[in-house]
Homo-oligomer: A and B are copies of this chain.
Amino acid sequence: MNAPLQPTTGLPVVAMVGGGQLSRMTHQAAIALGQSLRVLAADPTESAALVAADVQLGDHRELADLRRLAEGATVVTFDHEHVPTEHLRALEAAGHRVAPGPAALVHAQDKLVLRRALAEAGEPQPAWAEVSTVHQVATFADEVGWPVVLKTPRGGYDGKGVFVIDGPDEAADLLEQHGTLLAEERVPMARELAAQVARSPFGQVAVWPVVETVQRDGVCNEVYAPAPGLSDELATAAQELAVRIADRLGVVGMLAVELFQTAEGIVVNELAMRPHNSGHWTIEGARTSQFEQHVRAVLDYPLGSTAMTAPVVVMANVLGGATADADWAGPSLDERVHHLMAHWPDVKLHWYGKGQRRGRKLGHVTALGEDLAEVRARAVAAARYLADGVVDPAFAFDEEH
């Protein structure tokens, strides 16, 4: 099959399944490369559908919709992991390029598959077991102690599908509901890290500095780049781990390896094979962003420099808060954006264009500088003001423009 090309330039065409903010920011980055992302969105008001020229409405679970998307594209990639593996195999069988391919992607789709693969590779991970009976859970807990973490192998994200249980009784309902689960020890972690790597079909890899990620209620909330106080030794180990995984699994595109840091070192929590929240800081904070790099990688273009543009970068998510409530009587979003820009002229805003709802990822802000405490204070205060209308006393301001 000849790969379809753009009529004006003869450049290749990238299609992305999913119309969320990752797709939106990928389109934004792709524009510089002479690209216009082709997007499969479920709804015309999705984040990427609002800004991209080539939007197809459809369902990522429907093979016919995926085929239609692939027809006009050189390569098909993803802003989430929810496309059924059999559909991806069908696309490949029809001669379409899929990046990452189904054999790699399944490790980001199915946590049991990931655990088995990492065990085979001898990579560090939490103690784990595949469980489908209460007895198996209890036996596993005898080894690792309570509480035990139960996870649905598929479909979980942002803390969904993860259950911390204190005894076997709590397992019964979950097993009945979900069938087979992944049981993991509750890792005595000091903090969470993420190592991001891009890999091209040619096998080139590029890694960014390892970051610290701070979750709130299972959702990524802040990212510090580079991870403060991380030893060079451990940072290198995390980067090498990410590269080994990308190589071994044959990842094409971005790979985010979410890690737990413990007293002993690092263990792999899970993988994402796409641009990831832990890499949003790279838009301003690195010479090449994860979004540009993802496009380069899936097109088998050589990868860009991952050098940081400032000593310290902090990304803070804006999750729908008080300002998303129907009875919010404070400043409108437009006014809050106004205030944010007035008070933090060097904080960079990324607003995803979505309707506001409690807990929803609505945007993020990035601050850059020299000193983590100072940079973090700015980013967090700006994000909190956008989300909750809360004015940090350190940044108090009057209502005048």
Interface of A toward B, CB cutoff 8 Å: 5-12, 24-25, 27-28, 31-36, 45, 49-53, 55, 202, 284, 287-288, 296, 301-305, 307, 309-310, 332-334, 337-338, 341-342, 345-346, 348-356, 363, 368, 401
CB <8 Å contact, A354 and B45: no
Q: Are B309 and A45 in contact (CB under 8 A)?
A: no
A-B contact pairs, 15 of them (CB 8 A): A6-B353, A8-B50, A8-B353, A9-B351, A9-B353, A25-B31, A28-B31, A33-B351, A34-B333, A34-B337, A34-B353, A35-B353, A287-B348, A288-B345, A309-B310
Give the distance in Å from the alpha carbon of A115 to the alpha carbon of B229 in the complex: 59
CA separation between A202 and B304, bound complex, in Å? Answer: 40
Asked if residues A332 and B10 are in contact (CB atoms below 8 Å), the reply is yes
A12 to B338, CA, bound (A): 12
User: Which residues of chain B come closer than 8 Å to A309, judged between CB atoms?
Assistant: 309-310
C-alpha spacing A380/B202, complex, angstroms: 28
How far does the Cβ of A288 sit from chain B's closest Cβ, in whole Å? 8
Cα A9 to Cα B353 in complex, Å, equals 6
Q: Contact at B12–A334, with CB atoms within 8 Å?
A: yes
Most B CB contacts (10 A, CB to CB) among A10, A337, A401 go to: A337
Q: Given the complex of chains A and B, what is the CA–CA distance between A27 and B353 in angstroms? A: 14
> Closest CB-CB distance, A287 to chain B, in whole Å?
5
**A24-B31, A45-B7 are contacts. A296–B355 as well, Cβ < 8 Å?**
no
A33: which of B12, B33, B337 is its contact (CB, 8 Å)? B337
Tell me whether A45 and B334 are in contact (CB under 8 A): no
Which residue of the partner chain B has the closest CB to A7?
A: B45
Residue from A5, A10, A345 whose CB has the most chain B CB atoms within 10 Å? A345
Q: Would A304 and B341 be within 8 Å (CB), given that A351-B33, A351-B34 are in contact?
A: yes
Complex alpha-carbon distance, A271 and B123, angstroms? 61
CB of A353, distance to nearest CB on chain B (Å): 5
CA distance A334 to B12 in the complex (A): 8
User: Bound state CA distance, A249 and B362, in angstroms?
Assistant: 38
> Assuming A53-B55, A304-B341, what are 5 further A-B pairs, CB within 8 angstroms?
A7-B45, A9-B354, A9-B355, A32-B348, A296-B341
A96→B128 CA distance, assembly (Å) = 63
Shortest distance between the CB of A307 and any CB in chain B (Å) = 7
Quick check: A32 and B345 within 8 Å, CB to CB? no
Q: Knowing A12-B334, A333-B11 touch, does A350 contact B32 (C-beta < 8 A)? A: yes
Instruction: Across the interface, name the chain B residue whose C-beta is closest to A5.
Output: B334
Are B287 and A338 interface neighbours, CB within 8 A?
no
In the assembled complex, the Cα of A80 lies from the Cα of B110 at a distance in Å of 52
